[in-house]
C-alpha cells in the first residue's frame, strides 16, 4: 500500500523552516511514505527549494489567496485523483509536528476516513460556533451539541478522500462570504448530517492528534473555559514530547505555535531532525 503526507503552501521561501519541520518530523516518524507539497503560485526557486528538502513539489495556481483555506480543497482533490497513493494524510503545514507514525492507528479494515476532535462541543467554543453560524446558519442548531472536529488533519483512503474533499469544497463555494476560513465549518456540517461514510473520529485520549488552540495551555484555555469542559486527559509536554496527560504520546501535535514555550522547544528539536 502506497502512502503519502500531503499539504499545501504558498510563500514558500518565507516559510521554509516551518515546511522543513513538518516534512522532516514526518519522515523521521514514518520512513516508508512520500511527502508531497502543493506549492501555490510558486517560482522555480521555490519549487527547487522544496525538492531540495526531499519533498515532491506540485505547482498549483490559486488566484484569490484570501480564500486559500478552502480553495486548497479543490487542488488537493485534483492531486489525489491523479496520484497512485492508496492511503494519505492531509494536514496543515505551518503548525503540524509529527512525533510518531500517524498511519499506525488507522484501522482501514473498518474505516475509510479519519479525523480528530478538539475535546469541546461547538456550543462551548466561540470561534467555531460563530464561524458555522455565520457561514451555514441553517445548520448551526444541528452542530451545536457536537464535538468540534478539526479540518487541519484528515487521513483516509484515496476514493473516500476524493469524495470528502469534493463535498467540502462544494459546501464552501455555496456558503456566504462572511468568513474567509470555511473548510472546518464545512467539515463539521457534513459530520453533523452524517454525510461521511465509514468515518472514524479520534478523541484526545486516543493520542492520534491534538489541537493546541483548544486542548493545550494557550491564553484561551482557562479564559474561554476549555479546562473545565474537556472530558479527556489534558495534553502536556514532558521532556520535549507532548503526551495525552499521563497516557501515550501523541502521533501529531497541531497548532503548537499557539503556545510560546512549546513552539520554542519544538523548533529547537528541528536541529536534531
Over residues 74-103, mean pLDDT = 97
Query: How confident is the model over 15-34, as pLDDT tens digits?
Result: 999 999 999 999 999 988 89
Residue 219: Cβ within 10 Å count: 10
3 state DSSP class of 242? strand
* β-sheet bridge partners, residue 200: 114
CA atoms within 13 A on the CB side of 91: 26
Best CA proximity match to 86, nearest among 4, 27, 152, 197 = 4
The confidence score (pLDDT) of residue 226 equals: 83
CATH code that applies to domain 1-100 = 3.90.550.10
Query: How confident is the model over 191-236, as pLDDT tens digits?
Result: 999 999 999 999 999 999 999 988 888 887 877 888 778 889 989 9
Q: Where do the structural domains in the chain lie, given as residue ranges?
A: 1-100
- Give the cell for residue 92: 496543515
Amino acid at each position: 500500500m502506497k502512502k503519502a503526507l500531503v499539504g499545501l503552501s504558498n510563500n514558500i521561501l518565507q516559510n521554509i523552516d516551518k515546511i522543513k519541520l513538518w516534512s522532516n518530523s514526518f519522515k523521521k516518524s514514518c520512513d516508508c511514505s512520500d511527502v508531497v507539497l502543493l506549492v501555490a503560485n510558486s517560482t522555480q526557486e521555490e519549487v527547487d527549494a522544496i525538492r531540495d528538502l526531499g519533498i515532491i513539489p506540485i505547482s498549483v495556481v490559486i488566484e484569490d489567496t484570501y480564500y486559500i483555506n478552502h480553495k486548497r480543497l479543490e487542488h488537493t482533490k485534483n492531486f489525489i485523483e491523479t496520484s497512485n497513493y492508496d492511503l494519505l494524510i492531509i494536514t496543515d503545514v505551518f503548525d503540524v509536528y509529527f512525533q510518531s507514525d500517524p498511519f499506525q492507528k488507522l484501522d482501514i479494515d473498518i474505516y475509510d476516513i479519519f479525523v480528530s476532535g478538539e475535546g469541546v462541543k461547538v456550543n462551548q467554543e466561540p470561534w467555531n460556533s460563530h464561524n458555522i453560524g455565520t457561514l451555514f446558519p441553517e445548520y448551526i442548531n444541528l452542530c451545536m451539541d457536537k464535538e468540534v472536529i478539526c479540518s487541519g488533519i484528515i487521513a483516509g483512503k484515496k476514493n473516500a478522500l476524493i469524495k470528502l474533499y469534493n463535498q467540502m469544497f462544494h459546501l464552501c463555494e455555496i456558503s456566504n462570504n462572511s468568513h474567509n476560513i470555511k473548510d472546518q465549518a464545512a467539515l463539521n456540517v457534513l459530520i453533523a448530517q452524517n454525510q461521511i461514510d465509514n468515518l472514524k473520529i479520534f478523541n484526545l485520549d486516543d493520542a492520534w492528534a491534538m489541537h493546541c488552540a483548544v486542548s493545550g495551555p494557550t491564553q484561551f484555555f482557562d479564559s474561554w473555559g476549555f479546562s473545565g469542559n474537556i472530558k479527556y486527559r489534558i495534553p502536556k509536554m514532558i521532556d520535549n514530547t507532548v503526551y495525552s496527560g499521563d497516557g501515550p504520546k501523541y502521533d501529531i501535535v497541531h497548532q503548537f505555535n499557539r503556545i510560546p514555550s512549546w513552539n520554542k522547544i519544538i523548533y529547537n528539536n528541528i536541529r536534531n531532525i
